[in-house]
Amino acid sequence: MEKFNITANFTVFNSNKELPKQDQELLLKAIEARKNAYAPYSNFSVGASLLLENGTIILGNNQENAAYPSGMCAERVAIWNAASQHPKLKILKIFISASSSKKLVDQPVSPCGACRQTLVEYEINQSKNIEIYFTGETGKIIKSNTIKDLLPLTFDNSLL
């Protein structure tokens, strides 16, 4: 028997003001996208902005449905939006912002498992890390340099 440890690295920013200017703008875009979320059932709105290698910014937000499982998370709406329109361009960064009309979301909201799995697919295919920044409505912003820090022991197509 043997044991092993996995270390994940994160950077924490206390507010938007600690981010470089371009990243501040990307976070504002995620907030803007969040405000257009369609979340009448959970009242939990999420917005995502992606920066592509040519400078294009792609947005997404969660889209719910009366048949609950038919809804989709903001991150995957944004990633698939990017992949469908710009399949050859690498994704450099994703910014995620979440809020609720039921309570103040004052801590960083990290992407759900399915969105992590989706991000891994694109990160591996493009052979370049995707930076992930996530936050709530207020409070700290957490940055991860690669989706692998959020999803260690990844299942990916090399196993198939």
Helix/strand/coil (H/E/C) assignment for every residue in 24-36: HHHHHHHHHHHCC
Q: Shortest gap between Cβ of 3 and ligand THU (angstroms)? A: 31
Q: Is 75 annotated as catalytic?
A: yes
Q: Shortest gap between Cβ of 26 and ligand THU (angstroms)? A: 17
Q: Which is nearer to ligand THU, 26 or 37 (CB)?
A: 37
Q: Which is nearer to ligand THU, 73 or 83 (CB)?
A: 73
Name residue 96's beta-bridge partners.
Answer: 48, 134
Tokens matching residue 119: 């991000």
The C-alpha angle 50, 138, 152, rounded to 5 degrees, equals 50
Q: Which is nearer to ligand THU, 18 or 112 (CB)?
A: 112
Binders in 40-59 for ligand THU, by CB under 6 A: 42, 44, 46
Using CB under 6 A, pick the residue from 31, 33, 73, 150 that binds ligand THU.
73
Side chain identity at residue 136, one-letter code: G
Contact between residue 49 and residue 58 where contact means Cβ atoms under 8 Å apart: yes
Q: Which of 66, 65, 63, 60 is nearest to 48 (CA)?
A: 60
Q: In what order do the strands lie in the sheet with 44-52?
A: 11-13, 141-144, 131-135, 91-100, 44-52, 57-61
Q: Can residue 31 be called a binding residue for ligand THU (CB under 6 A)?
A: no
Q: Which is nearer to ligand THU, 46 or 79 (CB)?
A: 46
User: Which window, 21-29, 73-81, 87-95, 143-151, contacts ligand THU (CB under 6 A)?
Assistant: 73-81
Name the CA dihedral angle for 110, 112, 115, 119, rounded to a multiple of 10 degrees: 40
Q: Can residue 71 be called a binding residue for ligand THU (CB under 6 A)?
A: yes
Q: 18, 25, 75, 123: which is the annotated catalytic residue?
A: 75
Q: Shortest gap between Cβ of 46 and ligand THU (angstroms)? A: 3
The catalytic site residues sit at: 75
